[in-house]
A and B are shown apart, each in its own frame.
Chain A
Amino acid sequence: MKTNMVGAINNALELAMKENGNIVLLGEDIAKDGGVFRVTDGLSDKFPGRVFDTPLAESSIIGTSIGMAVAGMRPVPEIQFAGFMLLSVSQLLNHAARYRTRTRSAMSVPMVVRTPVSGGVKTLEHHSDSPEALYSHIGGLIVVEPSNPYDAKGLLMKALRMDDPVLFLEPTKLYRLFKQDIPDEAYEVPIGKANYARHGNDLTIITYGTMAPLVQEVVEKKNVSADVIDLRTINPLDEATILESVKRTSRALIVHEAEMSFGVGAEIAARIAEKAMFELSAPIMRVASPSIPYPFPGYENYYLPNAKKIGNAIDKILTA
């Protein structure tokens, strides 16, 4: 089928719900309305009693999902926007992330939390956050972020068959940006494994989410020979793929939309510095948003990393 990311996610949910009767979807406005981005459109008719609207309370959307999961179900809660998910951080980090180890694997929390992330679509405040580093920091949550329809469907299918809590981050900007031909049937994209979106020799660009298509566009336009690694999974990080590439190209640039400080880029840079320092011919560089909270939509074009900023970084690292 030829579909955008919204269609791919909807299709994965439908296939998984056919496969497993214990999957339910819950969240705000996801049933009749199909979610504010229409990702769950039509599913409440196809699966009566299995797609339901919750009271408007994010902590209990996650908290009750944890209870369902521990009791043998496989809930797929949707949080309407990542900014609102902060109201459920206690449940995600204090409980979802710790339940298995707290019980030494006697209990687990098989659930997939879906939420739209990142900006670039002129939304109100709190609708454009990129919180992947926050949820990756303490461990226990698997954090996944696709950048195209094919990966979105395959990663979600895989997540829905795992026995772990998975945070599935969906870049709103990419929901309908482009279509791809993807298989009609169920397939999996491995979690914890990065993807070479492009192969090259002179530098490695590590990216994911909204920045992945942008980086490829810039690399193509500038006609540079670069490995472009699309992480797909933020946590656990595919360190092996990153190191393999960086040791070969000797230059590492990390590009993400989230704020620069204490971010995913810092983690990757640290690992490269620890394990490939003497194979580098240039300092590791990062392109990210400034270390300030995401602004109101009027200022987002001043805030987001763009082609010019990425292009400048590529020039700089290649001439360092």
Chain B
Amino acid sequence: MKKQVYSGAIDYLQVMDENGNVDMQLMPSIPDSKIVDMYKYMLFARALDAKSLSLQRQGRLATYAPLIGEEATQIGVAMALRKDDVFVPSFRQHGVFLARGQPLEDYFVYWKGYEDGAKSTRQINALPVCVPVGTQLPHGAGVAFAQKYLKRDAVTVAFVGDGGTSEGDFYEAINFAGVNKLPFIVIIENNQWAISVPRKDQTAAQTLAQKAMAAGVRGVQVDGNDVLAVYKAVTEAIAASKNGPTVIECVTYRMSMHTTADDPAKYRPDSDVKPWKDKDPLKRVSIYLTAKGLWSGQLEQDTAAQQQKQIDEAVDRSEQQFKPDPKGMFETLYSFMPDTLKDEERNAVENNFWM
């Protein structure tokens, strides 16, 4: 006997195309003002990114991972989340942190290279930035387990890149979440490049969303440069979360370098980047809102000036008010201070090794 025991398909969702045309059948039911907010946050994220890159080049931030090009994925997710939902980042989701209300000076303190900047992540229901690729996903599944166990009305949304879907932790996390039917949403921020390795060399799978099928959970692919599609997919995943997790692949593009320590000219031809300039996630929303009379050049100028002021003031606070405290390294390792660690700290303080 031979019979088919499984078949599956992956849907692709786009609500607004690159020219700002909207498929009204698919349009999520949100007021125009929310779309304006989404656009403002995308502008804000792009401005924050530009400032961060500039500061890094001046030696005022440590290594930094730019987000330009990925604003729609990040803001679309952030705007779909509710306050109590938990956000689990990888390391490039500055836009989500921004839209969830992370104090901007904490953002800068963090990227200057101080753990102190991560203190406030708890207040915005986020886990801190996670550097080892994919390892944050089991944490997200665990948080979702706790939400279910503690009967909290909330979901957990965790980010991973295209490269991260090759990690074992990616599969382990969605598999665990599937078995336990957890309110867990994985956002694959597929920006086509894992440092220098292109998407096609990462996996032979036609989509990254289909990896969800191996774990028996829902998977969907969306235009990651379409903020409305991302928003809609996340909203639907939240609505379905009582029945278990969803994996959402957001197809976007890393317009800049992996981090400030990287030079994409070495491995990525301009011809690869160029087509994505036309698919810019901000441009299409600007066209749409302008056509509806909800946006203008003047509004854009005013918004940019106001956001720039907030950014500059936050940079000032992070540079002038924040004082590093190296004792924190010793004193926050455990819930108590072991004697041997006390000795090491005392030795450093008494001998003034820190200058």
Which of B140, B328, B332, B334 is the one whose CB lies under 8 Å from A67? B140
Q: Do residues B121 and A67 form an inter-chain contact, with CB atoms below 8 A?
A: no
Q: Do residues A240 and B339 form an inter-chain contact, with CB atoms below 8 A?
A: yes
Q: Do residues B172 and A107 form an inter-chain contact, with CB atoms below 8 A?
A: no
Q: Do residues A63 and B333 form an inter-chain contact, with CB atoms below 8 A?
A: no
Q: Which parts of A47-89 form the interface with B (CB within 8 Å)?
A: 54-55, 57, 59-60, 62-73, 75
Question: What residues on A are CB-neighbors of B138 within 8 Å?
Answer: 59-60, 62-64, 66-67, 91
Q: B135 interface residue, CB < 8 Å from A?
A: yes
Stretch from A3-11, A31-39, A93-101, A197-205 forming part of the interface with B? A93-101
Q: Do residues B175 and A60 form an inter-chain contact, with CB atoms below 8 A?
A: yes
Q: A157 interface residue, CB < 8 Å from B?
A: no
Q: How many residues from A make CB contacts under 8 Å with B?
A: 44
Given contacts A55-B179, A66-B139, A139-B333, contact A71 B146 (CB under 8 A): yes
Q: A142 interface residue, CB < 8 Å from B?
A: yes
Q: A188 interface residue, CB < 8 Å from B?
A: no
Q: Which parts of B314-355 form the interface with A (CB within 8 Å)?
A: 328-329, 332-336, 338-341
Q: A218 interface residue, CB < 8 Å from B?
A: no
Using CB atoms, name the residue of chain B closest to A162.
B335
Question: What residues on B are CB-neighbors of A236 within 8 Å?
Answer: 334, 338-341
Question: What residues on B are CB-neighbors of A67 within 8 Å?
Answer: 127, 138-146, 156
Question: Within the complex, what minimum Cβ distance (angstroms) separates B142 from chain A?
Answer: 2
Distance of A104 Cα from B325 Cα, bound (Å): 11
Stretch from B36-44, B111-119, B233-241 forming part of the interface with A? B111-119
Question: What residues on B are CB-neighbors of A163 within 8 Å?
Answer: 335
What sequence of 0s and 1s flags, for each residue 132-154 of chain B, a beta carbon within 8 Å of any chain A beta carbon? 10010111111111110110000
Which of B119, B147, B179 is the one whose CB lies under 8 Å from A106? B119
Q: A27 interface residue, CB < 8 Å from B?
A: no
Distance of A77 Cα from B20 Cα, bound (Å): 50
Given contacts A63-B137, A63-B173, A237-B340, contact A164 B120 (CB under 8 A): no
Q: Do residues B339 and A63 form an inter-chain contact, with CB atoms below 8 A?
A: no
Question: What residues on A are CB-neighbors of B150 within 8 Å?
Answer: 22, 71-73
Distance of A73 Cα from B145 Cα, bound (Å): 10
Q: Do residues A95 and B139 form an inter-chain contact, with CB atoms below 8 A?
A: yes
Q: Which parts of B77-117 form the interface with A (CB within 8 Å)?
A: 86, 115-116
Using CB atoms, name the residue of chain A closest to B174.
A60
Q: Do residues A107 and B128 form an inter-chain contact, with CB atoms below 8 A?
A: yes
Q: Do residues A102 and B179 form an inter-chain contact, with CB atoms below 8 A?
A: no
Given contacts A57-B176, A71-B146, A95-B135, contact A107 B122 (CB under 8 A): yes
Q: Which parts of A92-137 form the interface with B (CB within 8 Å)?
A: 94-95, 100-108
Using CB atoms, name the residue of chain A closest to B139.
A67
Question: What residues on A are CB-neighbors of B135 within 8 Å?
Answer: 63, 90-91, 94-95
Q: Do residues B146 and A72 form an inter-chain contact, with CB atoms below 8 A?
A: yes
Distance of A105 Cα from B146 Cα, bound (Å): 20
Which of B120, B127, B137, B338 is the one whose CB lies under 8 Å from A70? B127
* Interface SS, B side: helix
Q: A140 interface residue, CB < 8 Å from B?
A: yes
Q: Do residues A239 and B340 form an inter-chain contact, with CB atoms below 8 A?
A: yes
Q: Do residues A68 and B146 form an inter-chain contact, with CB atoms below 8 A?
A: yes
Q: Do residues A55 and B115 form an inter-chain contact, with CB atoms below 8 A?
A: no
Q: Do residues B335 and A64 form an inter-chain contact, with CB atoms below 8 A?
A: no
Q: Do residues A103 and B179 form an inter-chain contact, with CB atoms below 8 A?
A: no
Q: Do residues B119 and A104 form an inter-chain contact, with CB atoms below 8 A?
A: yes
Using CB atoms, name the residue of chain A closest to B145.
A68
Most A Cβ at <10 Å: residue of B115, B116, B120: B115
Q: B59 interface residue, CB < 8 Å from A?
A: no
Q: Do residues B122 and A54 form an inter-chain contact, with CB atoms below 8 A?
A: no
Question: What residues on B are CB-neighbors of A59 within 8 Å?
Answer: 138, 168-169, 172
Question: What residues on B are CB-neighbors of A60 within 8 Å?
Answer: 138, 141, 169, 172-173, 175-176
Distance of A291 Cα from B150 Cα, bound (Å): 47
Question: What residues on B are CB-neighbors of A219 within 8 Å?
Answer: none
Q: Do residues B119 and A54 form an inter-chain contact, with CB atoms below 8 A?
A: no
Distance of A111 Cα from B150 Cα, bound (Å): 17
Question: Within the complex, what minimum Cβ distance (angstroms) separates B344 from chain A?
Answer: 10
Question: What residues on B are CB-neighbors of A54 within 8 Å?
Answer: 176
Q: Do residues A57 and B175 form an inter-chain contact, with CB atoms below 8 A?
A: yes
Distance of A106 Cα from B121 Cα, bound (Å): 8
Q: Do residues A70 and B176 form an inter-chain contact, with CB atoms below 8 A?
A: no
Distance of A237 Cα from B121 Cα, bound (Å): 32
Q: Do residues B122 and A106 form an inter-chain contact, with CB atoms below 8 A?
A: yes
Task: Identify the 6 closest CB pairs spanning chains A and B, nearest first.
Answer: A67-B142, A63-B138, A236-B338, A60-B172, A71-B146, A64-B142
Q: List 26 A-B contacts (CB under 8 A).
A: A22-B149, A55-B179, A57-B172, A57-B176, A60-B173, A63-B135, A63-B142, A64-B176, A66-B139, A67-B143, A68-B145, A68-B149, A71-B150, A91-B135, A95-B135, A100-B332, A100-B334, A101-B333, A103-B122, A103-B128, A106-B122, A142-B334, A163-B335, A192-B338, A236-B340, A240-B339
Chain B contact residues, CB within 8 Å of chain A: 86, 115-116, 118-122, 127-128, 130, 132, 135, 137-147, 149-150, 156, 168-169, 172-173, 175-176, 179, 328-329, 332-336, 338-341
